Chain A
Amino acid sequence: MEVLTEKNTKQTPSKPPKSMSPWAIARRKFVRNKLAMVSSFFLLTVMIMSFLAPYITTIDITRVNIGQMSLPPSGEHWLGTDKSGRDVFVRLLYGGRVSLTVGIAATALIVVFGTVIGSIAGYFGGVVDSVLMRFTDFILNFPFLVFVIVLNAILFGKLSGVWVLIVVISVLGWGGVARLVRSKILSEKENEYILAAISIGCKPSKVIIKHLLPNVLSTIIVQATILFATMIVAESGLSYLGFGVPTEVPSWGNMLSTSRDPDVMQNMPWTWIPPAVVLTLTILSINFIGEGIKDALNPKSYR
């Protein structure tokens, strides 16, 4: 920072030194956080490898290969093969694709929906607020897992593949975000700049989008990272139980669920340990990134 300041003062001595924007400060703090950086690197690697899976390998994952069933790890099959002769490493890549897609899509839907409901309730207050918040309480009072399982059973076959799960999780999961955004908006709208914006004739939609949301964005971002981890856990947990994505689709949870067969668990650990380890590391790294972002966006913390 000092170097920058010197340079600025030399070039334009009359102007005061330009200070960094809040986002630039946050970025600097985040980059200095070693744990968060390592985690980001890991997560990025996992994401790239999973989403580019069809380009990395050309093996057909759906084909049952009778000649190569239950092989331990070897040079040909890095992590061995499962009971149907499918390569575990390849399935791990494709599984990551499904698990991460569910995580990202569900998080995006929840954040958008929760933010819309929360900001409308918080901004307008009164009857609108009461109605929306009662509705949110109603959603929050459902036991999440129980209703996801029931809804999934109903919708199964009516929508294609993983989208059933994404929709179901999102429909039942937005309550927390809505409540959080509402409380933040409630305190933020008391500021004078909002009064100013309203008095110069800004429409409510403009006040919310241009003035209020940027100021609660940091909270939403932090919440989104936590949600991302939670959603990946939810997906794989449900798939483990057999109520998540369809069993023929490879996902980390579905791979892990093969361990429910005692024979597989005892004698073929190479089929279920890799997804378990990758899943745990992914969640751990998302948590660290979340901590890092929270720290970086908090103006009171110095590192």
Chain B
Amino acid sequence: MLKYTLRRILGMIPMLFLISVVVFTLALAMPGDPFSGEIDPNNTDPEYIEEMREKLGLNDPIHVQYGRWITNFVQGDFGKSTRYKMPVSDLIAERMPNTIFLGVTSLAITYILAFAMGMYAGRRPYTPGDHFIGGFNYFGLAIPSYIAGVFAIYLFSFQLGWIPFQGSVDITLEKGTLDYWISKIHHVITPAIVLGLLSTASYTQFLRNDIIENSRKDFVRTARAKGTPERKIYNVHILRNSVIPLITFLGFDIVTLVNGAIITEAIFTYPGIGQLFLSSVTNQDYPVLMTLTMMFSFLVLLGNLIADILYGVVDPRIRLD
């Protein structure tokens, strides 16, 4: 197992290198000078611009520029945001907690709902309750998150006034107080449900089908024959077997959250990493854009790695490959 894990981690390194080359190339291909943030835009004296370009190394050959960028990057120096005039690492550190909070809440809601509904439907297949959950799943899979988000805002915040429609916290509240945290949860709950809608539907469906399939197996018949209560059969014997494949989805959750956070944060104007990314594209804030793209790619790689390793844990045959 350890050997397999190590091999997978080592396999990530060339991938990360290639992705960094792609990100760098894309940044060069974008309109404007990717690293010109330090140049004062109001000073149009060609001599000054040339001097600054020379000083910032923009006249060096491309591979030298790449080398410098990646060296700084690996050492944690991501450059300075051209828009916010502050180090990118600080900017990300400021927004990151919001996104993590959103992601974790979304995961928690997803798993709680999926387990509750999946176990209910799996135990009573083809009953009205199961069909109701099945219908919900169809909608969950078909409705894109932005439509669900827009409807949620329209219904719950404009019509009913239950939830705020933007921001991550009520800014008038003092940091650290109980009200502050309640306000935070109040702000995050709807985006989190919207973000987790798709996963909830697919996990519920998966768990239901797996429970039904497992309930026809021999060990269940044995358990029934020796008089185990039906409750225990479903909640212990079957669930244990059905949860295993579900665990492997954890890695893919990271990928879903990365892609989903961008859209969800835009709908709810929630100040997180996804929104920072979108604004960096619109404002051509290249240091932020490059760092975030690298970070997202790294997270996706990590997610796939976790999924693969968990597959290896669950199914020993995969490790031999």
Please list the residues of chain A having a beta carbon within 8 angstroms of any beta carbon in chain B.
Answer: 137-138, 140-147, 149-151, 153-154, 229, 233, 236-237, 240-243, 256, 259-260, 262, 265-266, 269, 272, 276, 279-280, 283-284, 287
| A269, B155: Cα distance in complex, Å | 11
Closest to B269 in A: A260
Is A259 a contact of B150 with CB atoms below 8 Å?
yes
Is B259 a contact of A143 with CB atoms below 8 Å?
yes
Asked if B88 is an interface residue, CB under 8 A from chain A, the answer is no
Is A272 a contact of B150 with CB atoms below 8 Å?
yes
Please list the residues of chain B having a beta carbon within 8 angstroms of any beta carbon in chain A.
Answer: 15, 18-19, 22, 26, 29-31, 138-139, 141-147, 150-151, 153-154, 158, 165, 255, 258-259, 262-263, 266-267, 277-278, 281-282, 289, 292-293, 296-297, 299-301, 304
| A241, B144: Cα distance in complex, Å | 13
User: Which residues on the A side are within 8 Å of B282 (C-beta)?
Assistant: 242
Closest to A269 in B: B154
| A250, B101: Cα distance in complex, Å | 36
Is A287 a contact of B141 with CB atoms below 8 Å?
yes
Is A147 a contact of B293 with CB atoms below 8 Å?
yes
Is B300 a contact of A141 with CB atoms below 8 Å?
yes
Between A150, A256, A260, the greatest number of chain B beta carbons within 10 A of the residue's beta carbon is seen for: A150
| A229, B259: Cα distance in complex, Å | 17
* B18, B26, B262, B299: the one within 8 Å of A151 (CB): B26
Between B147, B255, B292, the greatest number of chain A beta carbons within 10 A of the residue's beta carbon is seen for: B147
Is A150 a contact of B26 with CB atoms below 8 Å?
yes
Q: Given that A143-B297, A146-B296, A154-B29 are known contacts, is A138 also in contact with B15, CB under 8 Å in the complex? A: yes
User: Which residues on the A side are within 8 Å of B144 (C-beta)?
Assistant: 233, 236-237, 279-280, 283
Closest to A232 in B: B144
From residue B166, how far is it (CB to closest CB) to chain A in Å? 8
From residue A178, how far is it (CB to closest CB) to chain B in Å? 16
Closest to A253 in B: B146
Is A154 a contact of B26 with CB atoms below 8 Å?
yes
Q: Is the interface of B mostly helix, strand, loop or mixed?
A: helix
| A138, B21: Cα distance in complex, Å | 12
Is A149 a contact of B154 with CB atoms below 8 Å?
no
| A138, B17: Cα distance in complex, Å | 11
Q: Given that A146-B258, A146-B296, A265-B153 are known contacts, is A241 also in contact with B301, CB under 8 Å in the complex? A: no
* B19, B30, B150: the one within 8 Å of A154 (CB): B30
| A264, B165: Cα distance in complex, Å | 14
The 9 A-B residue pairs with the shortest CB-CB distance, nearest first, are A284-B142, A143-B296, A145-B259, A233-B144, A266-B158, A283-B142, A146-B296, A276-B147, A143-B300
Is A243 a contact of B281 with CB atoms below 8 Å?
yes
Q: Given that A279-B147, A280-B143, A284-B139 are known contacts, is A241 also in contact with B262, CB under 8 Å in the complex? A: yes
Q: Given that A149-B278, A237-B263 are known contacts, is A143 also in contact with B19, CB under 8 Å in the complex? A: no
From residue B163, how far is it (CB to closest CB) to chain A in Å? 14
Q: Given that A146-B262, A146-B277, A265-B153 are known contacts, is A237 also in contact with B15, CB under 8 Å in the complex? A: no
| A147, B294: Cα distance in complex, Å | 10
Is A143 a contact of B26 with CB atoms below 8 Å?
no
Is A287 a contact of B263 with CB atoms below 8 Å?
no
User: Which residues on the A side are within 8 Å of B304 (C-beta)?
Assistant: 140-141
Closest to A142 in B: B297
Closest to A279 in B: B147
User: Which residues on the A side are within 8 Å of B150 (C-beta)?
Assistant: 256, 259, 265, 272, 276
Could you list 23 examples of A-B contacts with CB < 8 Å? A137-B15, A138-B18, A141-B301, A142-B297, A143-B296, A145-B259, A146-B259, A146-B277, A146-B293, A150-B30, A151-B26, A153-B30, A229-B142, A237-B144, A237-B145, A240-B266, A241-B262, A241-B266, A262-B158, A265-B150, A265-B153, A276-B147, A279-B147
